Amino acid sequence: MDIKLQNLTKRFPGRRRGGSGEVTAVSDLSLQIQDGTLVGLLGPSGCGKTTTLNMICGLEKPTSGRIFFGEEDVTDLPPEVRGVGMVFQNYALYPHLTVLQNILFPLENLKGAARPSREEMRRRAGEAAALVQIESLRDRRPRELSGGQQQRVAIARALVKMPRVLLLDEPLSNLDARLRLQTREEICKIQKKTGITTIFVTHDQEEAMSISDCIAVMKEGVLMQQGHPQRVYDDPSNLFVARFLGTPPINVFEAEIRGQVLYLLGQPVMGAPGVPDQPVWVGVRPEGFTPKEDGPVTCDLDRVEALGRDVSIVCTHPACAAGTVRAIVSSAREINTDCSKMRFGLQPDKVFLFHRDSGARIPFCPVS
Amino acid sequence: MNMDNSKKAWLYLLPSLILLGAFLLYPLLDVFVYSLEEGFNFASQTYLGVGGYNYLYVLHDPYFLQALKNTFILVLITVPVSTCLALLISVALSSVGALRQLYQTIYFLPYVTNTLAVGLVFMVLFQKTEYTDGMVNLLIQWFGGEGVDFINGPYWAKMFVLCFYTVWVVMPFKILVLTSALASVNQDYYRAARVDGTSRLRTFTRITLPMIAPMLVYLVITGFIGAFKAYSDAVALFGTDLNAAGMNTIVGYVYDMLYGDSGGYPSYASAAAMVLFVIVLTITCINLLVSRRQFRG
Ligand SMILES: Nc1ncnc2c1ncn2[C@@H]1O[C@H](COP(=O)(O)OP(=O)(O)O)[C@@H](O)[C@H]1O
Ligand SMILES: [Mg+2]
| Cβ-defined contact of A84 to B198 (cutoff 8 Å) | no
Residue B3: what pLDDT?
Answer: 65
Average confidence (pLDDT) over A91-101: 94
What is the DSSP code string of A117-140?
Answer: PHHHHHHHHHHHHHHTT-GGGTTS
Q: What is the pLDDT of residues A14-45, one digit of tens each?
A: 776 665 778 999 999 999 999 999 999 999 99
A139 contacts chain B (CB < 8 A): no
| Cβ of A14 below 6 Å from ligand 1 | no
Give how far A350 is from chain B: nearest CA, Å.
44
Residue A176: what pLDDT?
Answer: 85
Residue B288: what pLDDT?
Answer: 87
Closest CA to B104 of B182, B204, B33, B24: B182
CATH 3.40.50.720 assigned to domain A3-242? The reply is no
Say if residues A252 and A282 touch (Cβ distance below 8 Å): yes
Give how far A189 is from chain B: nearest CA, Å.
24
3-state secondary structure of A9: strand
Is a pLDDT exceeding 50 seen at residue B4? yes
Residue B24 CB partners (closer than 8 Å, separation 6+): none
For residue A52, the ligand 1 atom closest to its alpha carbon is 17
A162 contacts chain B (CB < 8 A): no
Average confidence (pLDDT) over B26-37: 89
- Work out the percent of chain A whose per-residue pLDDT is above 90: 65
Residue B250: what pLDDT?
Answer: 93
Q: How confident is the model at residue B1 (pLDDT cuts 50, 70, 90)?
A: low
Residue A233: what pLDDT?
Answer: 94
Residues of A in contact with B216 (CB under 8 A): none
Is a pLDDT exceeding 70 seen at residue B157? yes
Identify which of B202, B210, B295 has the shortest CB distance to residue A109. B202
Q: Which of A65-74, A110-119, A327-336, B146-155 tops mean pLDDT?
A: A65-74
Q: What is the pLDDT of residues A241-262, one digit of tens each?
A: 999 999 899 999 999 999 899 9
Residue B37: what pLDDT?
Answer: 86
Residues of B in contact with A114 (CB under 8 A): none
Which residue ranges make up each domain of chain B? Answer: 53-296
| Cβ of A48 below 6 Å from ligand 1 | yes
How far is residue A57's CA from residue A216's CA, in Å, rounded to a whole number?
Answer: 18
Residue A340: what pLDDT?
Answer: 84
Residue B48: what pLDDT?
Answer: 78
DSSP percent split of chain B into helix, strand, coil, nearest 5: 75, 0, 20
Give how far A94 is from chain B: nearest CA, Å.
7
Is a pLDDT exceeding 80 seen at residue B247? yes
Q: Which residue among A16, A29, A42, A50 is best mutated to probe the pocket of ligand 1, counting the most ligand atoms within 8 A of its Cβ?
A: A50
Residue A340 CB partners (closer than 8 Å, separation 6+): A300, A301
| Cβ of A261 below 6 Å from ligand 1 | no
Q: How confident is the model at residue A332 (pLDDT cuts 50, 70, 90)?
A: low
**What's the whole-model pTM score?**
0.83
| Cβ of A12 below 6 Å from ligand 1 | yes
Average confidence (pLDDT) over B97-109: 78
Cα dihedral A28/A34/A35/A36 (nearest 10): -110
B45 dihedral zone (left: phi>0; alpha: psi -120 to 50; beta) = left
**What's the start-to-end Cα distance of chain A, in Å?**
47
B187 → chain A, closest CA residue: A92
- Work out the percent of chain A whose per-residue pLDDT is above 70: 98
In chain A, residues under CATH classification 3.40.50.300 are: 3-242
Q: Which residue among A26, A51, A169, A199 is best mutated to probe the pocket of ligand 1, counting the most ligand atoms within 8 A of its Cβ?
A: A51
Q: How confident is the model at residue A307 (pLDDT cuts 50, 70, 90)?
A: confident
Residue A331: what pLDDT?
Answer: 73
Q: What is the mean pLDDT of chain B?
A: 87
Cβ atoms within 10 Å, residue A332: 8
Average confidence (pLDDT) over B81-91: 94
Question: Residue B206, class by beta-carbon neighbours within 10 Å (0-12 exposed, 13-18 middle, 19+ buried)?
Answer: buried
> Given the DSSP bridges, would you call strands B49-50 and A278-284 parallel, antiparallel or unpaired?
unpaired
Residue A178: what pLDDT?
Answer: 84
Is a pLDDT exceeding 80 seen at residue B68? yes
A247 dihedral zone (left: phi>0; alpha: psi -120 to 50; beta) = beta
Q: What is the pLDDT of residues B205-227, one digit of tens each?
A: 999 999 999 999 999 999 999 99
Identify which of B192, B197, B211 has the shortest CB distance to residue A88. B192
For residue A10, the ligand 1 atom closest to its alpha carbon is 12
Q: Which ligand is nearest to the CA of A29?
A: 1
How far is C-alpha B163 from the geometric centre of its chain's CA atoms? 11
Closest CA to A130 of A110, A109, A108, A103: A103
Is a pLDDT exceeding 60 seen at residue B234? yes
| Cβ of A54 below 6 Å from ligand 1 | no
How far is residue B52's CA from residue B40's CA, in Å, rounded to a whole number?
Answer: 13
For residue A47, the ligand 1 atom closest to its alpha carbon is 22
Kind and range of the H or E run holding B49 = strand B49-50
Q: Amino acid identity of B40?
A: F
From A75-84, B69-78, B222-231, B233-242, the region with the lowest mean pLDDT:
B233-242
Q: What is the ipTM of this complex?
A: 0.84
Mutation for testing the A interface, residue in B186, B190, B195, B215 having most A CBs under 10 Å: B195
Residue A147: what pLDDT?
Answer: 87
Say if residues A178 and A1 touch (Cβ distance below 8 Å): no
Q: What is the pLDDT of residues A165-198, one digit of tens each?
A: 999 999 888 888 888 888 888 899 999 999 999 9
How far is residue B70's CA from residue A366's CA, in Å, rounded to a whole number?
Answer: 97
Q: What residue owns the CA closest to ligand 1's atom 11?
A: A25
Residue B185: what pLDDT?
Answer: 93
From A167-176, A309-318, A329-338, B143-152, the region with the lowest mean pLDDT:
A329-338
How far is residue A220's CA from residue A235's CA, in Å, rounded to a whole number?
Answer: 21
| Cβ of A336 below 6 Å from ligand 1 | no
Burial A139-156 (b: 16+ CB within 10 A, else e): eebbeebeebbbbbbbbb
Mutation for testing the B interface, residue in A56, A57, A86, A143 having most B CBs under 10 Å: A86
| Cβ of A50 below 6 Å from ligand 1 | yes
- Per CATH, the number for B53-296 is 1.10.3720.10
| Cβ of A23 below 6 Å from ligand 1 | yes
Kind and range of the H or E run holding B72 = helix B62-95
Cβ atoms within 10 Å, residue A129: 23
Residue B297: what pLDDT?
Answer: 47
Residues of A in contact with B207 (CB under 8 A): 94
Helix runs in A109-263, H state only: 118-131, 147-159, 177-194, 205-211, 229-234, 239-244
Q: What is the mean pLDDT of chain A?
A: 90
Residue B81 CB partners (closer than 8 Å, separation 6+): B163, B167
Q: Amino acid identity of B293?
A: R
Say if residues A116 and A124 touch (Cβ distance below 8 Å): yes
- What is the crossing angle of helices B62-95 and B53-60, to 10°? 70
